[in-house]
Amino acid sequence: MGQDELTGVRSRRSLLLQSRRAVKAAKVADPAQLVFVDMNDLKALNTLGGHAAGDIALRELGQQLNRFCEKQEWVARYGGDEFVLLLRSTPEEVEQRMVQLLSRLELRHRFTWAQCKLAPHTDWFEQINDLSRQVLLKKSKPHEHTQH
């Protein structure tokens, strides 16, 4: 599997290859969720501490997300400060897990996220783009900045 050079998690190319395999193997009853994560305030961190500080925070977040994943789950860096996770949990379990993760993270590792059920025989990138739009809408509402 290809790794992202900066974060050490799966790369976007690996995500594409994995998505093809998972769609073939997915069953309608599988409790698999796609989760889109967008790191908060990376631009401000880069401005205040330089790009090296931003790179460190991205690497640390990637590793936090990687440790968060259980067996048969994974995280990939989608691009920039965005990550995609495949979690083998129900929507309610994912909600609880993500809220717990956010409560443990340092401020510089906080993120905004959205999830959807992995739809068999559906283009993952279409689902990821939908999740990305949901995250952008959440970020435009300051009171929901790190909420689901």
Confidence band of 27 (pLDDT split at 50, 70, 90): low
pTM above 0.75, yes or no: yes
Q: Is residue 45 part of a domain?
A: yes
- Residue whose C-alpha is closest to residue 76's, from 124, 120, 146, 140: 124
Highest mean pLDDT among 7-11, 16-20, 27-31, 118-122: 7-11
* Residue 6: band (very low, low, confident or very high) from pLDDT cuts 50, 70, 90: very high
| DSSP code per residue over 73-115 | -EEEEEETTEEEEEE-S-HHHHHHHHHHHHHHS-GGG-EEEEE
- CB-side exposure of 63: number of CA atoms within 13 Å? 10
Q: What is the mean pLDDT of residues 134-138?
A: 94
Laid out side by side, the sheet with 82-87 consists of 74-79, 82-87, 33-39, 111-117
List of residues 6+ apart from 136 with CB closer than 8 A: 38
pLDDT in tens, 74-124: 999 999 999 999 999 999 999 999 999 999 998 878 899 999 988 777 778
**What is the mean pLDDT of the segment spanning 62-82?**
93
**Ramachandran assignment for 55, one of left (phi > 0), alpha (psi -120 to 50 degrees), beta (any other):** alpha
- 145 pLDDT more than 70: no
Residue 47: band (very low, low, confident or very high) from pLDDT cuts 50, 70, 90: confident
Residue 36 in domain = yes
Domain presence at residue 6? no
Instruction: Quote the distance between the C-alpha of residue 38 and its chain's center.
Output: 7
pLDDT at site 72? 86
CATH number at residue 38: 3.30.70.270
Q: Is there a contact between 75 and 9 (Cβ–Cβ < 8 Å)?
A: yes
31 occurs within a structural domain: yes
Q: At what angle do helices 124-139 and 12-25 cross, to 10 degrees?
A: 120
pLDDT digits (tens, 9 = 90+) for 31-46: 789 999 999 988 888 8
How many domains does the structure of the chain reveal? 1
Token digits of residue 15? 């995500």
Residue 42: give the domain boundaries.
Answer: 12-144
